[in-house]
Amino acid sequence: MDKAAVVVTWCAFQPRTQALAAALGATVCNISSALHGRKAWLPLRYLIDAVRTWRALNAARPRAVIVITPPVFSPLTGWLWCALHRRPLVVDCHTGTFHDERWRWARPIHRAVLRRSRAALVHSEEDEVLVRAWGAPALLLPDDLPRICATPNPEPERLPARVVVAGRLDDDEPVAAVLGAASLLPGVQVRLTGDPDRLPAAVRAGAPSNAVFVGLLPWPEFLSELASADLVGVFTSDPHVMSRAAFEAVGLGRPLVLSDSAGLRHRFGAAALFCENNAPSLARALRQALRERASLGQRSTALREILHAQHQGALAQLRLLLD
């Protein structure tokens, strides 16, 4: 007898994937290897991951397969297996599927696979319009939200105030501008999550004394870091990103400051303050948000219920598609 659906991701851990599997009563298949992150070995890694995915699906014999993309080879493998075994395929498309230059060449493959899927899950209205224009069955599935605080909320008058800038220190994050803003906020501790080894040594060395690199945290510790913050900032130069950390901050009822983009305004405009990605603008927004932290926290709590309802509605549609 066929077992539950399987959610396949070619990485060691993704919070969205774990939550999606739990909501659907599915099992998670994390395909990762020691070659992860080694660009020179990518072709071999993708081949190995495809073989391991095929073997895992053969062993599980799931009633449906959900795969995460990119990389494009994951849904391609899933589609081939589902076509041979007559199982429905769902593809969860992260925003890089459509907007990352590294995957532009794969658009025709994604288009072909998504048109043959039961549903193509997307993160934003922009991507929903694009996928529907391809003739594929798009379903907007916003991220899930943590429903309880990982630690008690901070005291309202704690000094120094603690701002957590949530990210990975990736290339799209304006880290230099954040550090410049920290230098303009000497009475505030600015804590940056993510791997500091991604940054040039000169950037790390030039950080002001009130900036703290807390490292790339395990997910429960990351949530605790957000929950204990007076304020959460999430900043990116990518106008297409739909930041999961912003969902998590709202889920934890934390005041929120975001980079100004149309997509983020549409999703979080009811709760967040917005700013440009330069030091003076960041500092002004963070200073204002700290003054208004009580009302901003209330706005995040109110938005949490709206986003949760949207997420649950999308899950209900997905369950119907898989029945």
Specify if 311 maps to a domain: no
Nearest to 277 by CA among 239, 232, 225: 239
CA distances from 200 to 236, 252, 266 (A): 18, 32, 33
Give mean pLDDT in consecutive 10-residue pieces for the chain, a chain of 323 residues. 83 94 96 70 87 96 97 97 97 96 96 98 97 98 80 62 97 96 97 95 94 96 96 97 96 97 96 98 98 97 97 97 92
CA distance 220 to 231: 18
Edge-first strand order for the sheet with 231-234 is 211-215, 188-193, 161-165, 231-234, 256-259, 273-275
pLDDT for the residue 32: 83
CATH of the domain at 91: 3.40.50.2000
Q: Which domain holds residue 41?
A: 6-141
- Residue at 222 is within a domain: yes
Is residue 128 domain-shared with residue 171, that is, in the same domain?
no
**Each residue's pLDDT tens digit, 246-296:** 999 999 999 999 999 999 999 999 999 999 999 999 999 999 999 999 999
Domain identity same for 176 and 90: no
For the chain, the distance separating the N- and C-terminal CA atoms, rounded to the nearest angstrom, is 16
Say yes or no: 67 and 104 in one domain: yes
Span 71-107, pLDDT tens digits: 999 999 999 999 999 999 999 999 999 999 999 999 9
Instruction: Kindly state the tokens that stand for 74.
Output: 């994951």
Is residue 125 a part of any domain in this protein?
yes
Sign of the Cα torsion 84, 89, 91, 92 reads negative
Q: Which of 141, 171, 192 is the last residue of a domain?
A: 141
Q: Do 29 and 135 fall within a single domain?
A: yes
**CB contact burial 129-156 (16+ within 10 A = b; e otherwise):** ebbeebebbbbbbbbbbbeebbeeebee
- Put simply, whether the predicted model's pTM sits higher than 0.85 gets the answer yes
Indicate whether 189 and 293 sit together in one domain: yes
What number of other Cβ atoms are within 10 A of residue 73's Cβ? 21
My answer on whether 137 and 225 are in the same domain is: no
Asked if residue 322 belongs to a domain, the reply is no
Tally of structural domains, the chain: 2
